């Protein structure tokens, strides 16, 4: 097969802007499908690049998933390595991918670079994949690394909390034990929601680290239900991909799945970021008029 025919690995070609739909009032799902179809060949190439640059994240996320589940997974769901290796492995692989794609565990500068590319896709702007990725990965090097380290600490603490409720504090039994694990799980879901916004904010605004987390935290709560529904939807997709035949999930991951999920996340987040930009522009215009 001649891959050049599909331009999958031609990252420097001039992109073309394709109108979403003829009707500007068309439903959001129709606009999304039109935009996704127009970028499919680029997404295949980006998927390869993203997995290549995310190998450290994949390794960390895989082991972090074991740390988070710990004994609690075997306790509450009854799976163990001796009983069924696949049933034990699949949820941990799914959780590992969730932590990378949202991204709780990620090489910060790498994810910042790809976030800029996906943001441009969502806005129908030109995106020279390789150069935009490289430029914005370097431009956000410092903040990306700091966010990565902060997130690793938070993941460690969340995993410690879950394991503490199920291993260190055996007196927490019954309803109280489930409530404690549920509370930490909700905290983890909110943390996932925050990370959907941190990197788009990073590549769009000149914010300090504290401001990034503060705004992301506000957006995580302001849009709590839509955020949780998106997280749930992506978890379901990953479980469907890996739950029946894990080899199918692995193949889809190597070909298109991560890039597709990242596209969906950024398409979901970008209208919120644009609304913030418009609000900021209105405030700045108002301040200028009052001078």
Per-residue model confidence as pLDDT tens digits over 193-234? 999 999 999 999 989 999 999 999 999 999 999 999 999 999
| pLDDT attached to residue 32 | 85
Q: Which of 23-27, 73-77, 208-212, 272-276 has the lowest mean pLDDT?
A: 73-77
Q: For residue 185, what pLDDT band results from cuts at 50, 70 and 90?
A: confident
Tell me how long the chain is. Answer: 291
**Residue 220 contacts residue 197 (beta carbons within 8 Å):** yes
Sign of CA dihedral 100, 187, 201, 233: positive
Residue 143's contacts (CB-CB under 8 Å, 6 or more residues apart) are 108, 112, 202, 209, 212
| pLDDT attached to residue 13 | 52
| pLDDT attached to residue 90 | 81
Residue 173's contacts (CB-CB under 8 Å, 6 or more residues apart) are none
Question: Is the pLDDT confidence value at 60 over 60?
Answer: yes
Q: For residue 39, what pLDDT band results from cuts at 50, 70 and 90?
A: confident
- Pairwise pLDDT comparison (210 vs 32), residue with the higher score: 210
């Amino acid at each position: 097969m001649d891959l050049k025919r599909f331009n999958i690995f031609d990252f420097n070609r001039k992109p073309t802007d394709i109108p979403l739909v003829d009707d500007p009032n068309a439903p959001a799902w129709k606009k999304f499908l039109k935009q996704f179809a127009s970028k499919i060949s680029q997404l295949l190439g980006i998927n390869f690049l993203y997995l290549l640059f995310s190998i450290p994240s994949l390794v960390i996320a895989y082991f972090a998933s074991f740390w988070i589940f710990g004994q609690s997974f075997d306790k509450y769901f009854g799976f163990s390595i001796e009983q069924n290796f696949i049933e034990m492995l699949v949820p941990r692989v799914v959780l590992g991918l969730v932590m990378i794609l949202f991204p709780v565990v990620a090489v910060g500068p790498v994810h910042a670079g790809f976030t800029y590319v996906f943001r441009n896709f969502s806005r129908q702007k030109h995106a020279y994949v390789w150069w935009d990725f490289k430029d914005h990965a370097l431009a956000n090097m410092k903040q990306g690394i700091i966010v990565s380290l902060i997130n690793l600490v938070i993941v460690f603490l969340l995993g410690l909390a879950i394991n503490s409720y199920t291993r260190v504090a055996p007196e927490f039994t019954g309803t109280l034990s489930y409530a404690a694990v549920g509370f930490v799980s909700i905290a983890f879901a909110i943390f996932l929601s925050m990370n959907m916004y941190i990197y788009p904010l990073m590549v769009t605004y000149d914010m300090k680290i504290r401001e990034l987390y503060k705004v992301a935290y506000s957006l995580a709560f302001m849009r709590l239900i839509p955020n949780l529904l998106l997280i749930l939807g992506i978890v379901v997709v990953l479980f469907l991909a890996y739950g029946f035949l894990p080899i199918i999930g692995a193949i889809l991951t190597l070909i298109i799945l991560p890039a597709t999920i990242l596209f969906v996340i950024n398409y979901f987040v970008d209208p919120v970021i644009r609304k913030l930009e418009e609000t900021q522009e209105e405030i700045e215009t108002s301040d200028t008029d009052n001078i």
